[in-house]
Amino acid sequence: MAIALLGGTFDPVHCGHIEIGTQLADYLDVEHVRLMPCGIPAHREPPTANPQQRLEMLGLAIAKRTKLTIERCEIAHTKPSYSIDTLRQIRADIGPVTRLFMCLGMDALEHLHHWHEWRQLLDYCHILVVSRPGTEYPVALPLKAWIKDHQSDRSVTDELRPSGCLYFCKLSLIDISSTQIRQHLKQHRSIEHLTPDAVIDYIHRHNIYE
């Protein structure tokens, strides 16, 4: 048994999230990957779509995806969500033994050393970093040293410990971002194939990102 989280803003959810999440479920050999939208992100501008809209778009996007679920524990927060607090909460809920994986794109890893209590994250989970087009392996010195200390050389499915290790994986690279979708919409360009049709329809019906 293991739990896998893919946290993000999902403003809006896109085919990259869906594809990466689905591939991660196979890679980690877990039944589900939980997509976890934050309420108020701690390290960036507030999202354009409100929490309810981001949640509804996620629901539409994963409707037929049996390997994806939504983790709602951060979305209702009225203060910025810190991953360390979320992980402590989830760890308290699942107990000390279950393996917990926090999955991140490489772009998120590049800034990890600015996260609140970042050195404690591995006390509660493993971190699995997914490659992403246009992002490089981190060069910031504190991160480099931390990666060297914690990167596991085992296969992730052989991992029996509940937390403590850092893994890197290369899945199919998908060059889609929410930023790109928001830009296309501002410029009245099509977002077909960037996010599922039901999400496109929702965005247009609610006039988000105009």
| Contact set with ligand ATP (CB under 6 A) | 6, 8-11, 16-17, 20, 104-105, 107-108, 130, 132, 174, 176-179
Closest CA to 44 of 97, 7, 18: 7
Closest approach of Cβ 104 to ligand ATP, in Å?
A: 4
Q: How far is the CB of 122 from ligand ATP (least distance, A)?
A: 16
Q: Which residue has the tokens 């926090």?
A: 102
Of 2 and 102, CB closest to ligand ATP: 102
Q: Is 164 exposed, middle or buried (0-12, 13-18, 19+ CB in 10 A)?
A: middle
- Closest residue to ligand ATP using C-beta atoms: 105
Written in H, E and C, the secondary structure of 164-210 is: CCEEEECCCCCCCCHHHHHHHHHCCCCCCCCCCHHHHHHHHHCCCCC
Beta bridge mates, 167: 128
CB 12 within 8 A of CB 195: yes
Q: Which of 174, 209, 52, 22 is nearest to 200 (CA)?
A: 209
* Residue showing tokens 């679920």: 69
Residue 97 CB, shortest distance to ligand ATP, in Å, is 26
Nearer to ligand ATP, 20 or 68 (CB): 20
- By C-beta, is 2 or 130 nearer to ligand ATP? 130
Q: Is 87 or 104 the residue whose CB approaches ligand ATP more closely?
A: 104
Q: How far is the CB of 125 from ligand ATP (least distance, A)?
A: 14
Q: How far is the CB of 167 from ligand ATP (least distance, A)?
A: 14
Q: In the complex with ligand ATP, which residue's Cβ is closer, 58 or 165?
A: 58
